[in-house]
Amino acid sequence: MRPRLARLVRFASLALFTACSGPAPGPAAAPRPSAPPAPAAPDKLLPPSAFASIEPPAARSQALFAEASRVLLHARCVNCHPPDDSPRQGDAHAFHDPPAVRGPADRGVPAMQCGSCHQDQNLPYARVPGAPDWHLAPVEMAWLGRSSAQICAQLSDPRRNGQKTLAQIQHHLAHDALVGWGWGPGHGRSAPPGSQVELGALFQAWIDTGAVCPAGEEKRP
Amino acid sequence: MSERGDRRGRGASEETTGGAPPSEDRARFTITVSRRSFLAGLAGLGAAAAGLALGVRVPGAEAAGATGAAVFAPNPFIQIGTDGVVTIVCHRSEMGQGIRSSLHVLIADELGADPAKVQLVQGDGDPKYGDQNTDGSSSIRGQYEAMRTVGAAARMMLVTAAAKRLGAPEARLLAQGNAVHDPVTKRSVPFGELAVAAAKLKVPAKPVLRPRAELVHVGTPMPLVDAPGYVTGAAKFAADVQLPGMLTAVIARPPVVLGKVARLDEAKAKAVPGVVQVVQLPAPTAPVKFQPLGGVAVIARHTWAAIRGRAALEVAWDGGPNAAYDSAEFTRSLLATVRAPGEPVRRLGDAAAALARAAKVVEAEYVVPHLVHAPMEPPAAVARMDGGRCEIWACTQDPQTAQESVAEALGIDKSAVTVHVTFLGGGFGRKSKPDFIVEAALLARAAGAPVRVQWTREDDLRHSYYHTHSAQALAAGLDAGGNVIAWRHRLAYPSISSTFAPNANRPSRGEVNQGVVDVPLDVPNLSVETGEAKAHARVGWLRSVCNIQQAFAVQSFIDELAAATKRDPRDMLLQVLGKPRTLGPAELGVEAKMLGNYGAPLDKHPIDVARFHRVIEKVTAAAGWDAARKAGRAVGLAVHRSFLSYIGVVAQVSRGPRGEVRVDEAWIAADCGTIINADRVRSQLEGAFVFGQSLFTHGAITMKAGAVEQRNFRDYPLVRMPAAPRRIHVELIPSEGPPGGVGEPGVPPVAPAIANAAFALTGTRVRTLPLVPVRPVRPVS
Amino acid sequence: MKLDVNGQAREVEADPEMPLLWVLRDLLGLTGTKYGCGEALCGACTVHLDGNAVRSCVTPVRRAAGKKIVTIEGLSPRGDHPLQQAWAELGVPQCGFCQAGQIMSAAALLAASPKPTDEEIDRSLAGNLCRCGTYVRIRAAVRKAAGV
């Protein structure tokens, strides 16, 4: 896990530089040099205040999303945001075994419903992860294999986010119990950096700075 | 360890089936029917009737069997009441092979009873039944004549009684449909009315068998006797046995074989609500044989408390002599071994010289890892002590060995141990070993209450008797015309014998008889050599035993020769097997005493190339081999003889949606000699395909620091329904020849058939199993 | 704790986190539901909760309270559910151990999709392992029971 997180950190920093060295702002639009903050430790998220010095606000917004996407791109999140019919497992995103499928309501099929096995909490002996209403994200909200820029574009598009406002999405990220499970996945599973509260704050700050999506990045492998 | 254990050790090294000692001796016991055994049979029936009728009855709680007075019981297998109810004992364990839907048919057909109306009773472990060891695919092939003989004896006595009653000569009377008929007078007497008179007669010393044609049910598809119990949940498996006051034990065993408890703090375990007692079990000594592995048992009021209690134990283990074993490293040492000459076990001509002068030499190395049985029912046993007696209910393939092992562990006479055989939720060889049953007995004594030992899936995968881990190197020399002029096969793996004899350190005679020294090869220069390999785990037998890796290597390699010479694999296979003929030791290139032939005489069960040809022809015709290849479909063929049966398999594969190699369809042709219940034979062969597919695709037990790395079906996956072929076609070749085995022989040709098909599809040769590498194991938190 | 098992009211004293499997087997004596893995990987322990097939080995009993629990013993009054009949007629079981779970999964499928396709059968029964390898017959029996 550690190397992957480190890569994500480097990746996020790179995104910052990309965002800041974009072609748009002329000398007049950049009243003072914007210094990207030092990357957080692999298991930590930077608070919104760490980005305060970035100008213009659009670049700050992009940087905030990049920081938040360290969570969004984490295996605990993307494994349940697949672009196809199969949930994934583990940090290498292996196909779910037993071979569960999405089903018509993102909750599996008869006898192989998500809730056939997953309970409302992690199980201490059986290793089965659990949280209330365990299910897949709708396929139009697929994140697996996508870049933070692509995920951001999806999130911002009501046609691809389940007709939600950004505030509703922020609420989901900041308060949903299934999202929160990611920080307590149990049984030696890796957790995304920071906490659900910190993610909520970052996302709110991103909205507050204009919800600017990162400029095109390389698609994640 | 018991005599039986020692015998088993020799069984593995000296006999033929890696754990299936010859049943002939014991079978003979049952056919020597005398007045004395008639009386003993009557006495014995009491015990049988007190045994467990699998299914709806509470075990041991009531008499099973005839509903009326059981007056006619000429041997331990049959009783007929005055009410006409015919009760037949099944003395072999039911583990999915359908023996309870097959064995009694032989008795019933000889007797003249309708198999559908027979009351079936499961026999307890008792030498009076002869050999009860349900492995080596031996129940039909080893008991065919014996079962017919007991049926014939009873029938002759009934006919004699009927002759007297009807005043008709015996010769013209017919026993049929639970009655004796006189075709001349058209009069009939039901069996029930003959029971009293028949019981007074002398048991014939040499019962005369019916002509084969009179065995009216043999060979037909008959229903699955136990289906109602299976589909309603009424069928009783070992863990389903519940006794008043029974406790449940779950055991923390040393992760390494011959390891010991170094330090134990049981306080937290005892604090778990429902935990009654923590008991340290004695550590085994080498050789391990059938001894329990030791460790610490948590005994509780129910399974959940026992599981939680075990998790709360604080145990430090002393690794012992096997603590350095690393199966990945072991693979490298096995490969080094088979790259050097070994001890010859089969030789014809001069393979080295022929290889040296060959126009072309093809070489390949094959590796098959440790495998585990993983029956759906993990081992479980219930024991109850009553004074100096011990009563056991267990899912055992071998109740007599269980009886002996329990007696020895408790230090009591084996006559004081009763072993009831429950249904087995799969066996595959695991449940021949009574270690888990001995655990139950020791704990019942320690607890002073009936105890059920429940193995968890982790226990099953981590503390088994594993299929051996092998490497094989094959080399063939071809002349300019593509003919095989030299064949060299080197193999190394820890022997099953190592479990019983500490110095056994190379493949045994029994093991090389499973598809190496007994393979017909039309090659003038042959050398088969075994290499040294020391065991560091408990090695045991698993469905078809060494045939698995040996058929995989031989049948893959012949396909490699076809590819190397750009020939149709079927043609190459037929060429290497040679023209129809039978082979003895001289033609095979082995010493006569080397050839085990699954304990069967060669004159009765020769190694018959014509039968190989027949199954190849049949299976390739069924699969449309030529058309399939012409159409570019990826098909693979393999053929193998084991346990005296000949099986050909064609697998057809394609790329699945995720790029994986998936098996679409399979064809099987089987020549098993005389078959009893055709539908159970088909179902065994269908199941064997999936079993073989699992070990080809997924199966691997790996060990690090002496401990098994896998823990559940997540890291020891089995084929699931979506990956199973859409169709499995089974062609049974009609035969009146002596029966061969059925439960195991279907397995060996499967992996090479799929491997050969996968090669046709991908151009990549799978030489190391499994196809899908072992998934990394997440550490347990 | 009050439970509704196969239409009967049952009272058990159990740790609310105890898996339903062990409550059924050890406390209520309903042994038709099998333990095969304890981690929801094999499906041998499948029962219905309010008609949904669940793995009882990972279902804390507290989650079953207030729901209708149906086990293989209660699937049909006389063991004659069309699936049970089809299973017997086609000789599906080998060792039989996994079959109660297979049937419970299949019953949940047929309740939701009375005429399932082969793909639906595969998907719904993918969580039920059979080491004997009876899958081809299981598919056939589900089709037979569904009349497709």
Mean pLDDT in residue range C77-84: 96
CATH class of B13-232: alpha beta
Terminal alpha carbon distance of chain B = 38
Interface of B with C in 682-741 (CB under 8 A): 683-684, 686-691, 693-694, 712-714, 718-722, 724-728
φ/ψ (deg, to 5) at B691: -60, -45
B375: which chain C residues are within 8 Å (Cβ-Cβ)?
95, 97, 131
Domain B238-321+379-454 in CATH 3.30.365.10? The answer is yes
Three-state DSSP class for A39? coil
Q: C148 touching B, CB under 8 A? A: no
Mean pLDDT in residue range B267-295: 97
pTM score: 0.92
Contact B311 A98 (CB under 8 A): no
- Counting Cβ atoms within 10 Å, is residue B283 exposed (0-12), middle (13-18) or buried (19+)? middle
Task: Determine what percent of chain B falls in helix, strand and coil, rounding each to the nearest 5.
Answer: 35, 25, 40
Tell me which chain C residue has its CA closest to the CA of residue B301: C26
pLDDT value at position A19? 37
Tell me which chain C residue has its CA closest to the CA of residue B729: C136
- pLDDT tens digits, one per residue of B234-244: 999 999 999 99
A188: which chain B residues are within 8 Å (Cβ-Cβ)?
778-781
**CB-based contact A196:A47 (threshold 8 Å):** no
Give A157's strand partners: none
Contact C94 B235 (CB under 8 A): no
Q: In the structure, what pLDDT confidence band is assigned to residue B773 with cuts at 50, 70 and 90?
A: confident
Angle at B756 between CA B751 and CA B758, to 5 degrees: 95
Please tell me if the domain spanning B13-232 has the same topology as the one spanning B238-321+379-454. yes
Q: Order of strands, edge to edge, in the sheet holding B295-300?
A: B275-281, B295-300, B247-252, B451-454, B380-386, B389-394, B417-421
Could you say which residues of chain A have pLDDT below 70?
Answer: 1-34, 217-221
Q: Return the DSSP state at B53.
A: -
Chains with 3 or more CB pairs under 8 A to chain A: B, C
Whether pLDDT at B410 is above 90: yes
φ/ψ (deg, to 5) at B468: -65, 160
Mean pLDDT in residue range B642-647: 98
pLDDT value at position B667? 98
Distances, alpha carbon A82 to alpha carbons A11, A73, B52, B767, C87, in Å: 21, 12, 52, 34, 36
Considering only CA atoms, which of B166, B160, B169, B173 is closest in space to residue B203? Answer: B160
Q: Return the DSSP state at C38.
A: S
C47: which chain B residues are within 8 Å (Cβ-Cβ)?
none
Residues of chain C with CATH 1.10.150.120: 82-146
Structure tokens at A174: 């900041």
Residue of higher predicted confidence among B44 and B149: B149
φ/ψ (deg, to 5) at B109: -65, -40
Contact A188 B780 (CB under 8 A): yes
Q: Give percent of chain A with pLDDT exceeding 70.
A: 82
Interface of B with A in 631-670 (CB under 8 A): 658
Mean pLDDT in residue range B84-107: 96
Q: Which of B311, B722, B775 sits opposite A125 (nearest CB)?
A: B311
Contact C53 A113 (CB under 8 A): yes
Give me the helices (H) in C36-134, please. 82-89, 99-112, 118-124
CATH class of B327-372+465-762: alpha beta
- pLDDT tens digits, one per residue of B329-352: 999 999 999 999 999 999 999 999
What contacts B770, CB < 8 A, 6 or more positions away? B369, B695, B696, B697, B698, B699, B700
ipTM above 0.95 for this complex: yes
CATH class of C82-146: mainly alpha
A128: which chain C residues are within 8 Å (Cβ-Cβ)?
39-40, 58
Q: Give percent of chain B with pLDDT exceeding 70.
A: 90
Q: What b/e string do you get for B500-537 counting C-beta neighbours within 10 Å, with b at 16 or more?
A: bbeebbbbbbbbbbbbbbbbbbbbbbbbbbbbebebbb
Whether pLDDT at B546 is above 90: yes
Q: In the structure, what pLDDT confidence band is assigned to residue B66 with cuts at 50, 70 and 90?
A: very low
- Provide the angle, in degrees to the nearest 10, between the axes of the packed helices B569-577 and B609-623: 170
Instruction: Report d(CA C70, CA C142) in Å as an integer.
Output: 19
**CB-based contact A45:A198 (threshold 8 Å):** yes
Domains of chain B, residue spans: 13-232, 238-321+379-454, 327-372+465-762
Angstroms from A187 CA to nearest CA on chain B: 5
Q: B721 touching A, CB under 8 A? A: no
Q: Which of C27, C96, C138 sits opposite B423 (nearest CB)?
A: C96
Tell me which chain B residue has its CA closest to the CA of residue A189: B778
Q: Which of B308, B714, B778 sits opposite A97 (nearest CB)?
A: B714
What contacts C112, CB < 8 A, 6 or more positions away? A110
B311: which chain A residues are within 8 Å (Cβ-Cβ)?
125
Mean pLDDT in residue range B52-70: 38
Whether pLDDT at B677 is above 90: yes
Chains with 3 or more CB pairs under 8 A to chain C: A, B
Give the containing element (helix H, strand E) for A168: helix A166-175
Residue of higher predicted confidence among B10 and B549: B549
Chains with 3 or more CB pairs under 8 A to chain B: A, C
Q: Beta strands B582-583 and B343-348: pairing type?
A: unpaired
C42: which chain B residues are within 8 Å (Cβ-Cβ)?
376, 457, 713
What contacts B332, CB < 8 A, 6 or more positions away? none
Q: C139 touching B, CB under 8 A? A: yes
pLDDT value at position B4? 35
Whether pLDDT at C144 is above 60: yes
A100: which chain C residues are within 8 Å (Cβ-Cβ)?
126-127
Residues of chain C with CATH 3.10.20.30: 2-74
CATH topology of domain C2-74: Ubiquitin-like (UB roll) (3.10.20)
Q: In the structure, what pLDDT confidence band is assigned to residue B68 with cuts at 50, 70 and 90?
A: low
pLDDT value at position A216? 72
Interface of B with C in 425-444 (CB under 8 A): 425-428
**CB-based contact B467:B548 (threshold 8 Å):** yes
Q: Which of A99, A110, A120 sits opposite C53 (nearest CB)?
A: A110
- pLDDT tens digits, one per residue of B11-49: 333 333 333 333 333 332 222 333 233 223 323 333 333
Three-state DSSP class for B224? coil
